[in-house]
Amino acid sequence: MANDINALEIQGVCKKFGETVILNNVQAIIKPGMVTAFVGPNGAGKTTLFHIITGNLSADSGQILLNQRDITNMPPFVVADMGITKLFQDLRIFSDMTVLENVLVALMDRHERKPAWAFDHLFKLKSFLTDHKKEALGFLELVGIAEHKDKMAGNLSYGQQKLLAMARIIARRPSYILLDEPTAGLSPVMVNQMVELISKMVKEMGISVGLIEHNMKVVQKLADYVYFLHEGKVFCHGDAKTVFSNAEVKRIYIGLSKGEIK
C-alpha cells in the first residue's frame, strides 16, 4: 500500500503541544480518486493532522509525501501550489464582495494581478472578464448557489457561505481537497446538497478528498476508506462497514460522543 506512486501519504507523524501528545506515529494514506475519512472523538488529533498536511502546523517527526515527494513542513502556500487545499472551518469568504467576485478572484493568475497587466491587455480586458465570469458562474452552478451571484457574500446564510467557500476551492483546480467537517452547522437539506457535491467532485472531477466528519451517515455514504483515530493514534482502519462494526470503535466513539456537546 505504501508503494502507491500517486497518493498523499502520512508516515509516522508525531506532534506534541507541550507535554500533551496530539499525534502519535500516525500512518495513513489518502488515495487518489477516493474519499478517505478520518473519524474519532473530539481531541483525537484529526484537525491537527490536516493542519500538518497543509503546512499550517509543523510535525515533530514523520513525513508527508505527495506522489513520493517529501512535503513535510513546507509553507502553506507552497503546499497549496502543489494542489492540496483545505476548506477552513472559519470559511474565510470575502464578505464585502459579490458571490461571483469571490470565485472570480480565485481564478486570476499571479501575473494577471499586476496593475500593468490590465493596461497591457486593455482591449482584451472585457472579453477576459466575460470568459472568467462564465467560468466562475459554472463553479457556482456546480455548488448550487448561482442564483445568488450578485448578492454580497456576507449576506448569504452560513450554509450558502460554506458552499461558496467550496466553489472557491474547486475553482483553484486542486488534486486534493481536505474538508474539515463540511456538514457542520448545515440544515438536513444542505447536508444532502453537500454530500452530492463531494461525490460529484470525486467522481466527475477526479479530485481526491480527505474528510473529517462527525455525521456518521455522511461518512457511510461517502467514504471509500476510513481511519479511526483515538488519542492520537490510528485505532483501526478499513472500509466504513469494517470500522463501524468494530466493537471497540462503537464503545469509544458512539458511546463517548453521546454525552459530549460539540
Partner 1 sequence: MTYVLHQLIMISIYLILVYATNLVTGLGGLMTMAQAAFYGMGAYVYALVALNMPVGFVASCGISLLVAGLVAWILSKVVLRFRGETFVLATLAFQMIVFTILDNWEGVTGGSYGLSEIPRPSLFGWEVSTVPEYVLLSVIVAALITGVFWVMLNSPFGLSVRAVRDNERAAESLRISPQKQLSRAFVISSVLASLAGCLFASYVTYIDPTSFSLTESIFILCILLVGGSGNIIGPFLGVLFMILFPEGLRFLGLPDESAANLREIVYGTILIVLMYYRPNGFKGIYSVK
- Contact footprint for partner 1 (CB under 8 A): 76-77, 80-81, 85, 88, 92-97, 101, 104-106, 108-110, 112-115, 117-119, 122, 125, 129, 168, 172
Q: How far apart are CA 95 and CA 23, in angstroms?
A: 35
Shortest Cβ distance from residue 256 to partner 1 (Å)? 33
79 vs 219, which CB is nearer to partner 1?
Answer: 79
Asked if 103 and 172 touch (Cβ cutoff 8 Å), the reply is: no
CB nearer to partner 1: give 128 or 200.
Answer: 128
Residue 155 CB, shortest distance to partner 1, in Å, is: 12
Closer of 161 and 215 to partner 1 (Cβ): 161
**How far, in Å, CA of 196 to CA of 243, rounded?**
23
Q: Find the length of the chain.
A: 262
| Contact status, residue 109 vs residue 118, Cβ threshold 8 Å | no
Q: In angstroms, what is the minimal distance from the CB of 216 to partner 1?
A: 30
Alpha-carbon distance of 126 to 73, in angstroms, equals: 41
171 vs 234 by CB, closer to partner 1: 171
- Contact between 88 and 180 under an 8 Å Cβ cutoff? The reply is yes
DSSP for 89-107 reads TT----TTSBHHHHHHHHH
Instruction: For the CB of residue 71, give the shortest distance to partner 1 in the complex, in Å.
Output: 16
We find the least distance from the C-beta atom of residue 166 to partner 1, in angstroms, to be 14
Distance separating alpha carbons of residues 165 and 215, to the nearest angstrom: 20
Q: In the complex with partner 1, which residue's Cβ is closer, 133 or 233?
A: 133
